[in-house]
Amino acid sequence: MKPIDKITYIAFLINIFAILLYLIGFPVIAMTNPNLFFKLTENQGLNPYNLVMTIISMIVIYHWGYCIWFLFKYDRYSKSIFPLFFFNGFYAPIYYYRVKIKKRPLRNKVNTETAEQLDDSMNESEFVELTRKNIIGVLQLWSSKEEQLEYLKSVPIAQVSNELFGQWEDFYTPDTEVIREAFSTTELELLTKFENRLTEIAEMLNGNIAYIDKFIETTEWKELNLLASEILRGLK
């Protein structure tokens, strides 16, 4: 786990503690210690109680800000945007838990599940073109070690190895009409070949995918890298 991930995970735990403190701790303390308010405001607020609360609040704000950044960077079509904005620090741990710990699929690209969210100005042919472009883009990423490492440099907190599998799962929806319109029968056979092998390797790894700098040294990565390059040649 990278340093920024460790810091954010700690902030996630502190955010949960802060919520429990706000919703349960303060009411209980207020009932058992009526002088709490005076302790918090004594010495014009320059006291240990206020100092601790200020630090906790700053950490909560950082964690919420991180979740906002993550959403716009990787999950921009997620419905979580509304509770994250309206409930901010109270919802941030829920969002973080879902996307970073449980690793639910991210919704950063337009696919068939989010087609209803498309602007009316995008017609059917443009959507088909976008679908083809997205799938080819994932294959290009799989085929290039340089692009994967560059992605890691530009987004240091990203788990690029997981994203390689996740993006393919997000974009490649073989049973949909848009996929059949975007690719020819021969091209679909190539995509199915990649899909089948990627699925087999994903099941074999069972979620234990190394960080990209280590993953690119594995036989699994090398096989999918070569396969992606082969399929890209067949799509041109």
* CA 201/CA 196 separation, integer angstroms: 9
* CA 151/CA 161 separation, integer angstroms: 11
Two structure tokens written together for 203: 């099941």
CA distance between the termini of the chain: 39
* CA 82/CA 87 separation, integer angstroms: 8
* CA 61/CA 57 separation, integer angstroms: 6
CA angle centred on 127, ends 125 and 131, rounded to 5°: 120
CA angle centred on 146, ends 141 and 152, rounded to 5°: 80
Report domain extents, the chain: 3-101, 123-235
Two structure tokens written together for 233: 């040649």
The residue among 153, 195, 151, 148 whose CA lies nearest residue 172 is 195
Q: Which amino acid is at 184?
A: S
pTM of the predicted model, to two decimals?
Answer: 0.51
**By the 8 A CB rule, do 125 and 48 touch?**
no
The residue among 151, 165, 153 whose CA lies nearest residue 228 is 165
Q: pLDDT in tens for each of the 236 residues of the chain?
A: 568 888 999 999 999 999 998 888 878 877 777 776 666 666 665 667 778 888 999 999 999 999 998 888 877 777 888 888 888 899 999 999 888 887 776 666 544 444 444 444 445 677 788 889 889 999 999 999 999 888 777 766 668 888 889 889 888 888 888 888 899 999 999 999 999 999 999 999 987 888 888 999 999 999 999 999 999 999 86
